[in-house]
Every structure is written in structure tokens, then in C-alpha cells.
Amino acid sequence: MAKKEMKDVVVAVDPKHKKQMKALIGKLEDKGFVLADSLTEIGVLTGSAPADAIKDLKGIDGVENVELNRTDYSTQ
């Protein structure tokens, strides 16, 4: 079986759901999300997810946004 392409993502949590962070992480993990770090105070989760699951992550109640983690920054 082919391995799914994983993408690094940043998940913004709806402020109304910050107190249910553990349950939200569980819902994300059910869709293939792999948690790297939880910044609970500001409602941000970082990790990776299958490329084809990102749309599903965005549809989870309590998720405000899911963005690909950018690595193309440069300094001047």
C-alpha cells in the first residue's frame, strides 16, 4: 500500500473551543492529523496531516482554519 503524502500544517482553533482542546485534537487525529506541538494559550496546533485530509480537517467543529506550514521564508 502506498504511503500517503503528509503535509506540515498549522491549525487555528476557534477561541470558543480552546477549553475542549484535547477532544478537538482527538477529532483531528481521527482524520490523520499527527500532533507536533500544542500552543493552547493562543489556540494553535502544529503537526502534519495527509494532503488529501486537509479539507476534512477544516470541516471539524472547533477548527477555525488549517494552513500549510510555510518554509519558504527568507531574510534580507
Q: Per-domain residue ranges for the chain?
A: 6-68
pLDDT over 60 (residue 73)? yes
| Over residues 52-70, mean pLDDT | 94
What's the confidence (pLDDT) of residue 2? 60
DSSP-assigned states of every residue in 48-59: EEEGGGHHHHHT
Task: For the domain made up of 6-68, give the CATH fold.
Answer: Alpha-Beta Plaits (3.30.70)
pLDDT over 80 (residue 72)? no
Length of the chain: 76
Three-state SS at 35: strand
Q: pLDDT tens digit string along 5-60?
A: 999 999 999 999 999 999 999 999 999 999 999 999 999 999 999 999 999 999 99
Task: Enumerate the β-bridge partners of residue 36.
Answer: none
What's the confidence (pLDDT) of residue 1? 53
What's the confidence (pLDDT) of residue 70? 77
